[in-house]
Amino acid sequence: MFCYQCEETARGTGCTTRGVCGKSEEIAGLQDTLIYICKGIAVRYVAAMNSGERNREASPFVAESLFATLTNVNFDPAYFHAKIAEAIAIRDALPQAGKSEPDACRWIPKNDADIAAKAQEIAGAASAGDDLASLRALLVFGLKGVAAYYYHAAALGYTDAGIESFMHRALASTVTTLSPGAMTELVLECGGVGVTTLALLDKANTTHYGNPEITSVKTTVGTKPGILITGHDLKDLQQLLDQTAGTGLDVYTHGEMLPAHAYPAFKKYPHFIGNYGGSWPHQGIEFESFNGPILVTTNCIIPPRDSYRDRIFTTGPAGFSGVAHIAGSRGGAKDFSEIVALAKTSTPPVPTGNGRDLITGCGHDAVLRIAGTVIDAVKKGEIRRFVVMAGCDGRQSEREYYTKFAEALPKSAIILTAGCAKYRYNSLELGMIGGIPRVIDAGQCNDCYSLVVIAQVLARAFGVGINELPISYNIAWYEQKAALVLLALLNLGVKNITLGPKLPAFVSPGILKVLVNNFGIAPNTTVEADMARLVPVP
């Protein structure tokens, strides 16, 4: 196997025997071959599209397949075997794309050995380390981000033909011969499609659930048994809240589900009582002490401990071998009665964390409502700098850097965040500036669009370009949604982004040079050195 898609990849170069995340060689091979057949679907889809035909099944299928291969989403061989069979059926139902189709359009594995052999071939090409392999990886990983965000928007009924056709065009490009220049353009275009997709998801979420309001979320526990929901899927949450209303159970969020408390539609459920625990790397201990069932809707799931293996459930694209899965069509009705029944026999959660409330819900609408106060505070010099510290959390102790960086920021700096990176500093006492929280949490990584809107509004208010604003970027990445957000920022023309804890292994020296020269991307270093660079004393 060869996988280097996440920040924690082995030795900073690539996982070759087993993933640091727990991905086995078998799963890696199944994921790689599923994507390979999706590339075949894409080639045929593009050809069909060019001759005016459309296939409605192909796009949602490819989006879900890409999403399932994102880090920490699905570790279930049965899921991938079924998807590979479905992929072949979808591909083969599309008209052939001419006589010289790439192998991805024709390949049919006869058995597991065929899959393993093809996986080895794919891994060999991916590990080449040249600029073309790097650009292809960057594009596919960016597409995984697009696919994840699009999956959620589509689940709420928001689709977009432009996003779908780009997904196919870009995937198809990775099995045809394009010049590095043309590939670079596609990679940057992927960032633009990322912005469109994030905007679509924002519309889907806010139309369905209302605009998030700045909200203080309890982290203490109640006396009743509870259900813990994690991941990013708001529709799953909605159905769970409906099905648990009046049952005497409490519902808590974990990790990336925390910002759901800020939506007006979810505030009306009195049994939706708070957030339990922190970000995904802590789930081993926290799921254990939660005592009740846990519903994992998307990333990040890590190999479950025996202590809670029989009370963890996956749904949607998430999966883990041996873990119960709640089925349901994409965006359709789901039956969580098994989880509800189990919760009724559980004991209440054991308290965790420092019990401090967490503030979230600072989406674009909520921040624009206080924009006058923010702009005044900037003019008066009370706010001197905004630092975007969005992105992911991770396992390694080196991520303490982000806690220390947040603590070391001058009191006149505001953190703008989204994603699970915030758990490194969102329970610190960082205070307020004139009633404005010093950590402006726009929500999940899925809500990064809000940060773009906020930056654009500030740029307009001060009559400057986005790079002239007093905003610095110190972004923490882990998985491929963060890779897409980075491409989205580059597409918007944002310069001088600091990225860490390590730069992506899939960026070759040649491509890194382009990113450094054209966009000023830099790795993070020490808190002191980065503070001097990112938050200069005026």
Q: Which H/E stretch holds residue 132?
A: helix 131-155
| Nearest residue (CB) to ligand SF4, 395 versus 404 | 395
Q: Are 475 and 496 in contact (CB under 8 A)?
A: no
Residue from 6, 42, 221, 452 that binds ligand SF4 (CB under 6 A)?
6
| Nearest residue (CB) to ligand SF3, 138 versus 482 | 482
DSSP label at residue 70: S
From ligand SF3, ligand SF4, none, which one binds at residue 205 (CB under 5 to 8 Å depending on kind)?
none
Does position 44 bind ligand SF4 by CB under 6 A? no
Q: Residue 368 and residue 34: Cα distance in Å, rounded?
A: 43
| Nearest residue (CB) to ligand SF4, 10 versus 375 | 10
From ligand SF4, ligand SF3, none, which one binds at residue 478 (CB under 5 to 8 Å depending on kind)?
ligand SF3
Q: What six digits make up the tokens of 322?
A: 């041996």
Residue 435, Cβ neighbours under 10 Å: how many? 8
| Nearest residue (CB) to ligand SF3, 211 versus 446 | 446
Burial letters 32-53, b for 16+ CB under 10 A, else e? bbbbbbbbbbbbbbbbbbeeee
From ligand SF4, ligand SF3, none, which one binds at residue 3 (CB under 5 to 8 Å depending on kind)?
ligand SF4
Does position 137 bind ligand SF4 by CB under 6 A? no
CA 26 to chain centre: 24
Q: Are 193 and 168 in contact (CB under 8 A)?
A: no
| Nearest residue (CB) to ligand SF3, 249 versus 483 | 483
Closest by CA to 481, choosing from 167, 194, 212, 256, is 194
Q: Residue 79 and residue 69: Cα distance in Å, rounded?
A: 11
Closest by CA to 336, choosing from 245, 222, 225, 267, is 245
Does position 47 bind ligand SF4 by CB under 6 A? no
Q: Are 322 and 310 in contact (CB under 8 A)?
A: no
Residue from 75, 151, 280, 506 that binds ligand SF3 (CB under 6 A)?
280
Q: What are phi and psi of 388, to 5 degrees?
A: -80, 115
Does position 20 bind ligand SF4 by CB under 6 A? yes
Smallest separation, CB 368 to ligand SF3 (Å): 23
Residues numbered 296-355 forming contacts with ligand SF3, rule: CB under 6 A: 299-300
Q: Which stretch binds ligand SF3 (CB under 6 A): 84-92, 409-417, 478-486, 508-516?
A: 478-486
Q: Which H/E stretch holds residue 416?
A: strand 413-417
From ligand SF3, ligand SF4, none, which one binds at residue 255 (CB under 5 to 8 Å depending on kind)?
ligand SF3
The DSSP line for 87-121 is HHHHHHHSPP--SS--GGGT----SHHHHHHHHHH
| Nearest residue (CB) to ligand SF4, 21 versus 204 | 21
Q: Residue 31 and residue 21: Cα distance in Å, rounded?
A: 14
Smallest separation, CB 445 to ligand SF3 (Å): 3
Ramachandran class of 215: left when φ > 0, alpha when ψ lies in -120 to 50, beta otherwise = beta
Q: Which stretch binds ligand SF4 (CB under 6 A): 4-12, 344-352, 357-365, 394-402?
A: 4-12
Does position 479 bind ligand SF3 by CB under 6 A? yes
Q: What six digits make up the tokens of 153?
A: 């928007």
Q: Are 287 and 240 in contact (CB under 8 A)?
A: no
| Nearest residue (CB) to ligand SF3, 118 versus 481 | 481
| Nearest residue (CB) to ligand SF4, 15 versus 43 | 15
Does position 15 bind ligand SF4 by CB under 6 A? yes
Give the strand pairing for 497-500 and 522-523. Answer: parallel
Residue from 419, 443, 501, 504 that binds ligand SF3 (CB under 6 A)?
419
From ligand SF4, ligand SF3, none, which one binds at residue 4 (CB under 5 to 8 Å depending on kind)?
ligand SF4
In terms of C-beta density within 10 A (0-12 exposed, 13-18 middle, 19 or more buried), how is residue 538 classed? exposed
Smallest separation, CB 302 to ligand SF3 (Å): 10
DSSP label at residue 52: T
Does position 482 bind ligand SF3 by CB under 6 A? yes
Smallest separation, CB 394 to ligand SF3 (Å): 7
Does position 9 bind ligand SF4 by CB under 6 A? yes
Does position 255 bind ligand SF3 by CB under 6 A? yes
From ligand SF4, ligand SF3, none, which one binds at residue 67 (CB under 5 to 8 Å depending on kind)?
none
| Nearest residue (CB) to ligand SF4, 21 versus 471 | 21
Does position 3 bind ligand SF4 by CB under 6 A? yes
Does position 35 bind ligand SF4 by CB under 6 A? no
Does position 126 bind ligand SF4 by CB under 6 A? no
User: What residue is closest to ligand SF4 based on CB?
Assistant: 19
Does position 8 bind ligand SF4 by CB under 6 A? yes
The DSSP line for 364-400 is HHHHHHTHHHHHHHHHTTS--EEEE--B---SSGGGH
Smallest separation, CB 1 to ligand SF4 (Å): 7
| Nearest residue (CB) to ligand SF3, 413 versus 445 | 445
* Residues 120/64/112/85 CA torsion (nearest 10 deg): -130
Residues that bind ligand SF4 (CB under 6 A): 3-6, 8-9, 15, 19-21, 23, 71
